[in-house]
Amino acid sequence: MPTTIHETRRRFMAHFAGLGLGSTLLPGVLWGEMQQQGAQRITPEMLKTALAVSGIEFSDEDHAAMVAGVNQSLTRYEELHKLHIPNNVGLPFHFTTIVPGIEVNRTKQPFRISDNPSVKRPANLEDAAFWPVRNLAELIRSRQVTSVDLTQMYLARLKKINAKLNCVVTFLDDLAMQQAKQADSEIAAGKYKGPLHGIPWGAKDIIAARGYKTTWGSDAFKDQMLDEEATVIELLRNAGAVLIAKLTTGEFAHGDQHLLGQTKNPWNLAEGSSGSSCGPGSATGGGGVAFSIGTETSGSILGPSGRCGVTGLRPTFGRISRYGVMVVSWTQDRLGPMCRYAEDCALVMNAVAKQDGRDLTVSDIPFNWNAQLDIKKLRAGYIKEGFDNLTGLAKQNGDKLLAQMQTLGVKLVPMTIPEFPWFVSSYEIEEGVFQNELVLSGRHKNVTRKQLATGFQSARAVSAVDYLVSQRARLMMMMKLAEATAGFDVWLAVAGGGGGGARGGERGAAPAPPQSATQRHSGMANSAGYPALAIHNGWSESGSPTSVTFFGRPFGEAEILALGKAYQDAAQIHVKHPKLDS
C-alpha cells in the first residue's frame, strides 16, 4: 500500500485515468474532495462536484450508480497493481494491417535468390567488411573463407570502430566463436544451411539473448538479465548466423541517446545516428557487422538507415515475431533487417518471417522473394510534392533517382494522399502499460532522460474510452489509405516525412498534425502497419547520406525489395562506404 501522501495521490490519479473518467482534472478534483473530508472512498457528492467542474452532468441516480462502480474498481486496481506481469505477456487481442479491400498472396512460391556472384577472397579480409551478405555467403559457400575467419575479422573491426561510433553495448566474443566453429563444422560435413550460414550479425539491445545483459539502453536496467531468448535470435541461429554483439539502442527505444552516451553516424561523426536502432544503423553502416536486426515503432529502422546509408527494411506489421523484445507498442512494434543491399534484407526475411506460436500477431502469409521479378510490371507511384520540395544536393539526388527509375523502365505515377485528422498515438498509451511496474515501483526515477519517465506517467491521463475511440478512427484512416494506394504495388517518398513516434525520435507530447502530403503519408503508413525500405541515394552538403523510402502494400516486401535491388544494381551507390580508418 502507498506509504506517503504523494504516492497515494499518484496512485489515485492513476486509478481514475485508468477508469476512463477523462483527463487529470476529474481525478484531481476527486482527490481534493477526499483529502478535505478525510475519506478513503468516493461519495456521490464528491463525484457530482468533480463532474460539474469537468463540465459533465448526470442525475443523482446516475451519480449513485457510478460511485459503486468507481469504488469497486479502486479496490480491484489495488489488487491489480500487486500482480507481476512478465515482459513477454502481451494483450489478449491483436492488431492486423489487413482491412476490407486489401488482398494478399497466400500461395507460397519458391524462394529465388540471384545467381551466385563471382567473388575472390581479398588479401586483406577486412576489405570485404562492406560486402553484401550475398557476396560474403559465396566466400563461405565456396570455402574461400571460414566462418571463424569472418567472425574474427568483424569482431576486431567492430571493436576498432566502436571507439568512434559508440555502437556496442556488449561484445559476445565467446558466443560468436562457438557459433562460428559450429558453422564451420556443419559446412565441412556438407550440411550447408544457406546464405546466412556462418555470417556475423548484431542485435539491437532490446532483443533478449539468454545469458547476456539486455539493458534497454537505460541505467534503470543496466544489469538486466532476462531468462528468455527472442524468437529472432533463435531463428537466425537455426539459419547458421553468428551473433557477435548486442548493439546500442536509444533509452527505452527512443532516439540515439542511451546509457553509454550517443551513437554516431559513420559518415559524419559530428552527428548522432538517429532513431533508437542507432547501434544497428551505425555498426552496419560502418562495416562492423554483415547485417543487424533493428526495431521500429515509428521511424527507428528507417531513420538510422537513412542517416547511416544503410538499406533498412521495416516489414509489414505481423511479419516477424516480437517475442523476447521490449515493447513500446503492441500494435505498432516491428523488427526488421538492416543491411547494405536490398537482397540481403530478403535473405534475412526468409529466415525470420515465420510463425512461432508465441507472438500471435505473426501471419502465415508467405514471404515470396524472386530476384528475377520483372520490375517493369510493377504498378509504381511517388509522392510528387515531397520530391518537388527538396533543395540542394538532396534535390539533385532525388531527381537522379527518379530519372534512374525511368531508365529502368518503371513508370512513376503521382499519388494523392487523403486528408485525415490526427488521433491519439497507440504507442503513447501502450508504452505506459508496458512500463507500468517501472512507474509503480518508483524505479522510473532512475531513468536518465526524465522526459521518458514523465511520458510513462502521463499516459495514464488519457482515458480508456478516448484511446479506444482513437483506434476506431485509426481503422477509418487505414481504410482510406488502402483505397488511395489500391492501384499501386510500390511507391516512393522522400525520407524524413515525420509522423511522430517513439522509436524514431524523442518522447513528449503527441505530435502536431502533419501538414505536407509526405508527412501525412508517413504517419498514416506507419500507423497502418505498411512495409517500407530505406534506400541510400547520395550525400548531403554535410557529407551525410540522403535517402528515399520505398513503400508497399501490406505483405508486399518482395516488390519493394525487388525495385530497391534494381535501383542499387544500376546506381551502385550502396557499394561506397565511409572512411572510418582515416
Q: Does 3 have pLDDT greater than 80?
A: no
Task: Please state the pTM of the whole predicted model.
Answer: 0.87
Structure-block grid coordinates of residue 118 = 563471382
Q: Residue range 102-111: average pLDDT?
A: 95
pLDDT tens digits for range 222-249: 999 999 999 999 999 999 999 999 999 9
Percent of the chain whose predicted confidence (pLDDT) is above 70: 85
pLDDT band at 55 (very low <50, low <70, confident <90, very high): low
Residue 281's pLDDT is 98
What is the spatial distance between Cα 318 and Cα 363, in angstroms, rounded to a whole number?
6
Which is more confidently placed, 278 or 220? 278
Residues 539-572 have pLDDT tens digits of 999 999 999 999 999 999 999 999 999 999 999 9
Residue 470, pLDDT above cutoff 90: no
Three-point CA angle 425, 304, 282, nearest 5°:
145
**Contact (CB, 8 A) for 462 and 427:** no
**Do 435 and 456 touch, CB atoms closer than 8 A?**
yes
Give the pLDDT score at 273: 96
Check pLDDT > 70 for residue 399: yes
Coil, strand or helix at 311: strand
Condensed to tens digits (0 to 9), the pLDDT of residues 146-159 reads 999 999 999 999 99
Confidence (pLDDT) at 531 = 98
**Average per-residue pLDDT for the chain:** 88
Q: Which of 220, 150, 277, 141 is nearest to 435 (CA)?
A: 220
List beta partners, residue 201: 243, 291
For residue 107, pLDDT over 90 is answered with: yes
Q: What is the pLDDT of residues 113-127, one digit of tens each?
A: 999 999 999 999 999
Share of residues in the chain with pLDDT > 90 (%):
69
Looking up cell 530497391, which residue turns up?
564
Strand residues in 195-238 grouped as ranges (E): 200-204
* 289 in Cβ contact with 248 (< 8 Å): no
Report in angstroms the alpha-carbon separations of 528 from 46, 56, 425, 506: 42, 34, 12, 21
How confident is the model at residue 445, as a pLDDT?
Answer: 74
Lowest mean pLDDT, pick from 185-194, 391-400, 443-452, 525-534: 443-452
pLDDT of the residue at 432: 85
Q: Taking 90 as the threshold, does the pLDDT of residue 450 lie above it?
A: no
Q: What value, to the nearest 5°, has the Cα angle with vertex 427 and ends 558 and 53?
A: 150
Show the DSSP H helices in 38-172 as ranges: 44-53, 60-80, 133-141, 147-165
What is residue 499's predicted lDDT score, i.e. its pLDDT? 32
Q: What separation in angstroms does the CA of 43 have from each of 49, 50, 65, 346, 577?
A: 10, 11, 11, 61, 68
* pLDDT at position 457 over 90: no
Per-residue pLDDT tens for 312-338? 999 999 999 999 999 999 999 999 999
Q: Residue 256: pLDDT above 80?
A: yes
pLDDT above 50 (res 501): no
Amino acid at 72: Q
Rounded Cα gap, residues 277 and 432, in angstroms: 20
